[in-house]
Amino acid sequence: MLTRRPLSLLFPTLLLLAAAVAAAWSVGHLDNAAWANPQVSPDDDPSWGPIDAPVTIIEFSDYQCPYCKRFHDETLPQIQATYEGRVRFVYRDFPLTAIHPDAQKAAEASECADDQGRFWEYHELLWVNQQELDVPNLKAYAGEIGLDTVTFDNCLDTGKNAQEVEKDYSDGISYGVQGTPWFFINDVELGGAQPFSNFQSVIDSFLPAARTVTIPVGSWANFAWTGDSTPQTVADCFGAGNVAVMYRLDAATQTFQRWIRGRDDLSNMTDVFSYHPLLALNTSAQPATCNMPMPQGGPGVISTIIPAGGWFNFTTSDVNASAEEAAETCGDGNIAVMYRLDATTQTFQRWVRGRPDVSNMTDVQPFDALLALNASDQPANCSFPIILG
Ligand SMILES: [Ca+2]
Ligand SMILES: [Ca+2]
């Protein structure tokens, strides 16, 4: 059963902050809506995941229910692995006491463990031991994970959390829960045993679509990624062996790294400290020729040709040249964006034509800029979710 309730819910929205750099440069930003389903409350029940996650799953469950165990053992781990950091999971009790004589006490016991701050460990033990949930066993499990057993036994024997469990159950009835397990995923109700793919399609409907970046053959691309962005991780996303070089510009620390396939170290460029890498975007209709000064002020120039509409990565030995001065050597108006990575100070500058400041990228925190070279003979694609850093 899959129904979408017509609620005036504020959906998580995707705000695209178009950095005024280039079409290839865009960053995503999630407006993290807290749980906003006015009809179904997470109450005071145990949860994991960010409290402001764009998706909240509230499960109503019963420790003696075989389908609940199956969800816990098979489906939930997939949800956790796929949506870590983007999903909050809340566990509420819905013991079907007419058919499951131990379910009420098991639920109370889990709340007694929660009173000692150990809900999830205890919860795991209950699923492992689903066939043995009578009161003596519930007490034994508390001892197994080192809870204060006197306090725990007293909690269970006096029915300290009976009302809490009954409130979950009566709330469930009022929300229309008809059995276990039963789920509310933001404003979508999902009842009964369901495959992971059904959870996936509901969860995905609340998340921004994956973004795909394509690097043409032999080209550089400049983009941002707000997830776990080690150069190696991102390079691997583009397919085995495609990306040969990756720069990572960390906006937060204003530092950069250079990763080169086949080299063990993640170079911070001290090995080429006399050279200062430049990355230029030529937005004109013709190739741009950059005439950089020779090292040590020698005669002549070093010419680099940047294709029309493309990025190019090259170096300058002119330690005094700013990003803008480097761009000017490439002809009037050709270069729209120039990064200059100062190997000596391990800092970088970003110059954007028409902007008065040489941005140090504090304006695009907390996004990490990446520059990747596709050295393969085919276009390289990477699809990645837009995640808040
Ligand atoms: Ca509750
Ligand atoms: Ca509860």
Using CA atoms, how far apart are residues 137 and 140, in angstroms rounded to an integer?
Answer: 5
- Kindly identify the ligand whose nearest atom is closest to the C-alpha of 60: 2
Q: What is the pLDDT along the chain (389 residues), one digit of tens a residue?
A: 433 333 322 222 222 222 222 222 222 222 223 344 557 999 999 999 988 888 999 999 999 999 999 999 999 999 998 888 889 999 999 999 999 999 999 999 999 999 999 999 999 999 999 999 999 999 999 999 999 999 999 999 999 999 999 999 999 999 999 999 999 999 899 999 899 999 999 998 888 766 788 888 877 777 777 666 678 888 888 887 888 878 777 766 766 777 777 776 665 555 544 566 787 888 888 899 988 877 777 788 888 898 887 777 777 777 778 888 888 899 888 888 788 877 677 677 778 777 766 655 544 444 566 778 788 888 888 877 554 33
- Report in angstroms the alpha-carbon separations of 370 from 301, 327, 332, 340, 373: 29, 20, 26, 14, 10
Ligand 1 centroid distance, CA of 46 (Å): 8
Ligand nearest to the Cα of 110, by number: 2
Task: Tell me the pLDDT tens digit for each residue of 272-284.
Answer: 445 667 878 888 8
Residue among 33, 32, 34, 29 nearest 14 (CA): 29
Q: How far is the centre of ligand 1, averaged over its atoms, from the C-alpha of 91 (Å)?
A: 9
164 alpha carbon – ligand 2 mean position (Å): 6
Q: How far is the CA of 103 from the centre of ligand 2 (A)?
A: 12
Task: Please state, in angstroms and rounded to a whole number, the distance separating the CA atoms of residues 208 and 193.
Answer: 26
The domain limits of the chain are: 2-205, 211-384
Residue 42: nearest ligand to its CA? 1
Q: Are 127 and 91 in contact (CB under 8 A)?
A: no
Ligand positioned closest to the Cα atom of 108: 2
Peptide bond into 366 cis (omega under 30): yes
CA of 193 to the centre of ligand 1 (A): 22
- Give the number of the ligand closest to the Cα of residue 114: 2
Across the strands, what pairs with 291?
303
Using the mean position of ligand 2's atoms as its centre, give its distance from the Cα of residue 62 in Å: 10
- Ion ligand 1 residue ranges (Cβ < 5 Å): 43, 45, 168
Length in residues, the chain: 389
358 three-class SS:
coil
Helix axes 103-115, 149-157, angle to 10 degrees: 140
Q: How far is the centre of ligand 2, averaged over its atoms, from the C-alpha of 96 (Å)?
A: 14
For residue 233, give the 3-state DSSP assignment.
helix
Reference 276, options 218, 311, 320, 329; nearest CA is 320
The identity of residue 286, as a single letter, is: Q
Fold of 2-205: Glutaredoxin (3.40.30)
**In angstroms, what is the span from residue 42 Cα to ligand 2's centroid?**
9
How many whole angstroms from 110 Cα to the centroid of ligand 1?
12
Q: How far apart are the CA of 149 and the centre of ligand 1, in A?
A: 23
Q: If you measure from the C-alpha of residue 83 to the centroid of ligand 2, how many angstroms do you get, rounded to a whole number?
A: 24
Angle between helices 162-175 and 103-115 (to 10 degrees): 120
Q: Which long-range contacts (CB under 8 A, 24 or more apart) does 115-123 make?
A: 115/151, 115/155, 115/160, 115/161, 116/147, 116/148, 116/151, 116/152, 118/145, 118/147, 119/46, 120/46, 120/48, 121/145, 122/147, 123/46, 123/91
